């Protein structure tokens, strides 16, 4: 190499600049998808219901309020009831019934289904998704970040991935077209949020737990809470990104506010002083620490004059955790009130999540959209936002772009049917938690339980808490929704459990 000082080329007169060198600046918007883990619909001071609730009073999320004042809140945004199915749908545009990553993933070739005496669960895609053929128990896909990258976006992953099992290609965000990966791996939680505990990594030579998070080594032994460490690293990546001459896609996927509900000391004392129990103060602090991260990213955009051309989407991957007193105070299943139940449930508490979109010039500020949508819709919507023309993908895409909603146009999306499919059994118990398929159409929602054959019908518009099963009152509607649900599931080749006693497949919802 030559240590001599070099003249900047701009000082040298042109000698015939080639077409290759012509600057064609890419003015497509930057996109930040701010994805929170296990955040319930009420885990915020921003009211997503028609009324302010006691939980809205309890939590402080000033930056979500700031974001909402600049954009559009979605009051009926849906995810799946657990993490991997939601995240896979986001990456692929497929409904969970089709991609078959219907429960959460972790170890290779191993199911995370709770054992049932009655049902034998199908061989779902326990290894998640991947972009290459021939990997057992995976669905081969073309991912959202890959398409964005191919179209010229600089793609950054920060935080939780949770699309593929350990030692499979899908465990690593780089395999899906992310050019930067900060702390993403197979794990769907964090062993510890504490820098003092090295985020769960052991340094005594013994094996670290599977949920010990990689890539934050520089913060080990410091007091940096994981939420903050991820934010600092994301901002470093953005500082690099702004020089590259490309639009960027930042998938900011916090490990917060998933368990363990560790104490974010930046905010914990405030909630203790406000009278909350230790557990609930820790939860509130975990939320506010996440909210600060959102604010820090918004500040960065403003400081760098990139706020005008950057979309921010706020989202959660499933409802709030509500099934154990290990982390939250009793009563259980009320932590997402007025919604019933929480994470893992087919009820609204498990699947309805907070969502906000801010996009100057396109999305009118300080607005609410009551149309419903579901997480696989993100896939075509983000491709629309990014003006991606080349969309050849390996998988069928079920999602529908909600760009019209963002533009404030009238849609008839609330007449469409949304589907959930969970031929599995989650770890904890509670209302609406079971081996279920579910359809929402208009005001109505049908939940079908494979183990018992039971069907529940709720009018979500009138009875958001799903307290009154109207199935016996409305047999024709039950039949009609059952038929639609059954036809859909067969059409996408959904999997079904088997009755252990008979060895026979459980009936589809329209076969009983």
Give the footprint of a copy of itself on residues 119-158 (CB under 8 A): 120-123, 125-126, 132-140, 152, 154
What crossing angle do the helices spanning 378-385 and 83-92 adopt, rounded to 10°?
Answer: 40
Contact between 240 and a copy of itself per CB under 8 A: yes
Least gap, CB of 157 to a copy of itself (angstroms): 11
Contact flags string 395-434 toward a copy of itself, x per CB under 8 A: -------------------------------xxx------
CA dist list (Å): 217 to 191, 235, 254, 510: 14, 17, 17, 53
Near a copy of itself by CB under 8 A: residue from 414, 484, 498, 507 = 498
DSSP-derived letter for residue 128 is B
Q: Contact 282/259 with Cβ under 8 angstroms?
A: no
Contacts of 14 (CB under 8 A, 6+ apart): none
Least gap, CB of 117 to a copy of itself (angstroms): 14
Closest CB to a copy of itself among 74 and 321? Answer: 321
Contact between 274 and a copy of itself per CB under 8 A: no
Pairing between strand 180-182 and 352-358?
unpaired
Q: Contact 248/153 with Cβ under 8 angstroms?
A: yes
Binding range to a copy of itself, per CB under 8 A, among 177-185, 287-295, 435-443, 456-464: 177-185
Least gap, CB of 313 to a copy of itself (angstroms): 23
Near a copy of itself by CB under 8 A: residue from 63, 168, 436, 482 = 168
Binding range to a copy of itself, per CB under 8 A, among 41-49, 244-252, 409-417, 457-465: 244-252
Contacts of 408 (CB under 8 A, 6+ apart): 72, 363, 364, 367
Contacts of 374 (CB under 8 A, 6+ apart): 77, 78, 79, 89, 95, 399, 418
**Cα Rg of the chain, angstroms:** 23
Closest CB to a copy of itself among 209 and 360? Answer: 209
Least gap, CB of 62 to a copy of itself (angstroms): 30
Contact between 4 and a copy of itself per CB under 8 A: yes
Rule CB under 8 A: which of 427-456 touch a copy of itself? 427-428
Near a copy of itself by CB under 8 A: residue from 70, 76, 172, 438 = 172
Q: Alpha-carbon torsion 47, 293, 320, 43, what sign?
A: negative
Near a copy of itself by CB under 8 A: residue from 34, 104, 267, 314 = 104
Least gap, CB of 110 to a copy of itself (angstroms): 4
CB atoms within 10 A of CB 496: 18
Binding range to a copy of itself, per CB under 8 A, among 169-177, 333-341, 406-414, 442-450: 169-177
Near a copy of itself by CB under 8 A: residue from 69, 110, 325, 452 = 110
Pairing between strand 310-316 and 352-358?
antiparallel
Least gap, CB of 16 to a copy of itself (angstroms): 7
Least gap, CB of 20 to a copy of itself (angstroms): 6
Nearest partner of 435 among 454, 415, 416, 418, judged by Cα: 454
Q: Which helix or strand (DSSP H or E) is residue 484 part of? A: helix 475-491
């Amino acid at each position: 190499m030559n240590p001599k000082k070099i003249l900047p080329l701009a000082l040298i007169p042109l000698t015939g600049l080639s077409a290759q060198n012509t600057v064609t600046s890419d003015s497509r918007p930057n996109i930040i998808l701010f994805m929170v883990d296990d955040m319930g619909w009420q885990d915020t001071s921003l009211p997503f219901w028609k009324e302010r609730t006691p939980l809205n009073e309890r939590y402080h999320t000033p930056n979500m309020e700031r974001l909402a004042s600049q954009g559009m809140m979605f009051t009926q945004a849906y995810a799946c009831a657990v993490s991997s199915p939601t995240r896979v749908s986001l990456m692929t545009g497929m409904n969970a019934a089709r991609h078959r990553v219907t429960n959460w993933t972790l170890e290779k070739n191993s199911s995370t289904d709770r054992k049932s005496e009655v049902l034998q669960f199908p061989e779902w895609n326990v290894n998640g998704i991947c972009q290459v053929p021939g990997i057992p128990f995976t669905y081969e896909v073309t991912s959202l970040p890959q398409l964005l990258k191919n179209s010229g976006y600089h793609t950054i992953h920060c935080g939780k991935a949770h699309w593929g099992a350990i030692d499979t290609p899908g465990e690593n965000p780089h395999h899906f077209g992310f050019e930067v990966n900060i702390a993403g791996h197979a794990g769907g939680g964090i062993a510890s949020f504490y820098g003092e505990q090295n985020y769960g990594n052991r340094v005594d030579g013994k094996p670290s737990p599977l949920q010990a998070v990689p890539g934050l080594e520089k913060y080990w032994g410091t007091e940096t809470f994981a939420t903050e460490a991820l934010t600092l690293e994301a901002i470093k990546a953005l500082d690099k990104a702004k020089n590259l001459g490309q639009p960027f896609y930042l998938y900011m996927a916090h490990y917060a506010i998933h368990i363990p509900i560790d104490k974010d000391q930046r905010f914990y004392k405030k909630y203790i002083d406000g009278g909350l129990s230790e557990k609930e103060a820790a939860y509130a602090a975990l939320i506010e620490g996440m909210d600060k991260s959102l604010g820090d990213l918004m500040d960065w955009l403003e400081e760098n004059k990139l706020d005008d051309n950057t979309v921010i989407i706020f989202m959660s991957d499933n409802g709030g955790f509500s099934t154990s007193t290990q982390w939250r105070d009793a009563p259980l299943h009320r932590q997402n009130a007025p919604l019933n139940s929480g994470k893992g449930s087919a009820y609204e508490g498990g699947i309805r999540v907070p969502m906000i979109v801010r996009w100057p010039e396109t999305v009118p500020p300080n607005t609410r959209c009551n149309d419903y949508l579901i997480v696989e819709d993100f896939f075509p919507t983000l491709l629309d936002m990014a003006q991606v023309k080349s969309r050849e993908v390996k998988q069928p895409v079920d999602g529908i772009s909600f760009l019209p909603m963002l533009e404030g146009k009238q849609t008839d999306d609330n007449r469409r049917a949304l589907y959930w499919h969970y031929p599995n059994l989650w770890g904890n118990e509670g209302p609406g938690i079971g081996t279920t398929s579910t359809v929402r159409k208009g005001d109505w929602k049908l939940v079908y339980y494979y183990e018992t054959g039971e069907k529940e019908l709720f009018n979500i518009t009138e009875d958001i808490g799903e307290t009154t099963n109207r199935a016996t009152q409305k047999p024709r509607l039950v039949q009609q929704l059952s038929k639609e649900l059954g036809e859909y599931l067969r059409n996408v080749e959904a999997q079904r459990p088997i009755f252990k006693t008979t060895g026979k497949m459980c009936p589809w919802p329209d076969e009983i």
